[in-house]
């Protein structure tokens, strides 16, 4: 019962303030940050692991409110249940979890010093047993002993989430390993990271293993 009251309170509050959030990104940065903090304070009364992102479709002028769990799979249902109770607001589109978008979306905001180009990233599947989540190794020309840090990995994960969308990235991608492109043994077999959606949607892509020569093959027990 309490959860229902909190959900109803959030949507009633947002409905009352939706007009002020429509196109609010043109306001001064300090005011934008204050408004986002206020929005997320109301949201976190429902679930502290969710976050609200507000934008606008410049071609149609429709505002967009996304309730994201920032990739935390265990809270996806919380976001889904909240959005399922959203009112129909004229001029607004409300979504649960970040949808697929441009690979470099917000990359310069969260990683301003990176020169990483999503078009210059490749991947290769690695797995030792069939599973619904696919482990991959991502190759970059920029990945060296000097930048093997958490930020580089986070940037790659953000790009993957942009390409697949928050839900698919969490549900279908398992471990992500990083390596310099020069260390790839079979460069002609690498796939561009931008082709991840086709790989994830292939029902056979999770049924591979790496043999003793480092080559990819289908599991013997299934083929």
pLDDT for residue 138 is more than 80:
yes
Convert 49-117 into a string of H (helix), E (strand) and C (coil).
CCEEEEEECCCCCCEEEEEECCCCHHHHHHHHHHHHCCCCCCCEEEEECCCCCCCCCCHHHHCCCCCCC
pLDDT of the residue at 23: 85
Write out pLDDT tens, residues 65-103: 999 999 999 999 999 999 999 999 999 999 999 999 999
Distance between CA 132 and CA 207 in Å, rounded? 9
Distance between CA 66 and CA 102 in Å, rounded? 16
Position 221 confidence tier, pLDDT thresholds 50, 70, 90 = very low
pLDDT of the residue at 127: 67
| Domain chopping of the chain, boundaries | 2-96, 107-218
Q: What percent of the chain has pLDDT over 70?
A: 85
- Phi (first) and psi of residue 175, to 5 degrees: -70, 145
Q: Which two tokens stand for residue 17?
A: 């303030």
Q: Which two tokens stand for residue 189?
A: 């077999």
pLDDT of the residue at 113: 77
Distance between CA 125 and CA 89 in Å, rounded? 43
pLDDT of the residue at 149: 65
Distance between CA 122 and CA 114 in Å, rounded? 17
Query: Are residues 162 and 105 in contact, defined by beta-carbon separation less than 8 angstroms?
Result: yes
Write out pLDDT tens, residues 93-131: 999 999 999 999 888 878 887 788 999 999 999 865 556
Higher pLDDT, 11 or 106: 11
Mean pLDDT, the chain, as a whole number? 86
């Amino acid at each position: 019962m309490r959860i229902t009251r909190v959900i109803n309170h959030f949507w009633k509050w947002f409905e009352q303030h939706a007009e002020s959030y429509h196109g609010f990104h043109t306001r001064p940065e300090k005011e934008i940050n204050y408004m986002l903090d206020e929005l997320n304070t109301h949201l976190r009364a429902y679930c502290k692991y969710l976050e609200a992102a507000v934008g606008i479709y410049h071609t149609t002028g429709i505002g967009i409110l996304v309730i994201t769990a920032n990739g935390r799979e265990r809270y996806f249902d919380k976001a889904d249940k909240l959005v399922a109770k959203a009112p129909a607001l004229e001029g607004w589109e409300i979504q649960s979890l970040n949808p697929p978008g441009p690979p470099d979306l917000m990359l310069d905001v969260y990683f301003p010093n990176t020169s990483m180009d999503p078009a210059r990233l490749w991947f290769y599947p690695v797995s030792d047993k069939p599973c619904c989540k696919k482990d991959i190794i991502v190759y970059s020309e920029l990945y060296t002993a000097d930048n093997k840090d958490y930020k580089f990995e986070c940037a790659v994960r953000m790009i993957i989430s942009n390409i697949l969308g928050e839900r698919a990235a969490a549900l279908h991608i398992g471990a992500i390993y990083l390596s310099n492109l020069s260390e790839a043994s079979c460069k002609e077999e690498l796939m561009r990271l931008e082709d991840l959606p086709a790989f994830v949607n292939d029902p056979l892509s999770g049924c591979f293993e790496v043999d003793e020569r480092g080559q990819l093959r289908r599991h013997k027990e299934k083929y």
